[in-house]
Amino acid sequence: MRAGFVDPVFESQRVFRGVLAAMSEPGRVVSLEARPVAPGPLHPATVAIALALVDLETPIWLDDAAATAETVAHLRFHCGCPIVDEPARARFAVIADPDRMPEIGAFDAGTDEYPDRSATLIVQTRDLIAGSGRRLSGPGIATEARLSAQALPPRFWEAMRANHARFPRGIDVLLTAGVSLVALPRTTWVEG
């Protein structure tokens, strides 16, 4: 087993701040300052988000690629979170292999009364580059933003459009690559 944050209080505050910045400006690539040790298939940004946001009240679901014994032990110990088999019961989901990710409908999209009680997906990609690629628009984006994310299948982007269509319900997505993070909240419209 490996260590978590070196300085849990300040590092989790910095990561929270990073996620907040990413969520308020969808499409912006945020580099997280905290770089915790990442077990197995997880990226440092994925682990940092989990260490900062996941705890005993937020069940987490891991896809087959992410759910190695090392990852499970690491998250159980450092986050103290329940690890669930059913995507629908998860508050957070880690997807290390986007090609085989479940249908977006498999995750909890909240209710019309409580749309905030929904799942947040952490999807790992190979590379995140702003300024070229797909066109993003919506709250937090002045005119348009462009994002190129490697290794995401076309059906992921179709799912993002379907997700946007059911607003206020829906899931929110955090894309991670290495120590970089981009948020795609349900309010963001993706074209191209």
Which positions lie near other proteins, rule CB under 8 A?
1-4, 8, 77-78
**CB-nearer residue toward other proteins: 47 or 160:** 47
Q: Which is nearer to other proteins, 30 or 79 (CB)?
A: 79
CB nearer to other proteins: pick between 5 and 107: 5
- Residue among 62, 32, 16, 20 nearest 185 (CA): 20
Least distance in Å: CB of 147 to other proteins? 36
Q: CA-CA distance, 51 to 60, in Å (whole number)? A: 12
Minimum CB–partner distance for residue 1 and other proteins (Å)? 6
End-to-end Cα, the chain, rounded Å: 42
| Smallest gap from residue 11 Cβ to other proteins (A) | 12
- CA neighbours within 13 Å on the CB side: how many for 138? 22
Strand order in the sheet with 60-62: 30-31, 180-184, 172-177, 120-124, 92-95, 60-62
| CB of residue 157 to other proteins, shortest distance in Å | 39
- Comparison of 8 and 110: residue with beta carbon closer to other proteins: 8
User: In this structure, what are the phi and psi dihedrals at residue 168, rounded to the nearest 5 degrees?
Assistant: -80, -10
Nearer residue to other proteins within complex by CB, 2 or 161: 2
Q: How far is the CB of 6 from other proteins (least distance, A)?
A: 8
- Between 4 and 41, CB nearer to other proteins: 4
CB of 186 to other proteins, least distance (A): 35
Residues 123, 175: contact at Cβ < 8 Å? yes
Give the C-alpha separation, 34 to 18, whole Å: 10
Per the CB < 8 A criterion, the answer to whether 190 and 170 are in contact is no
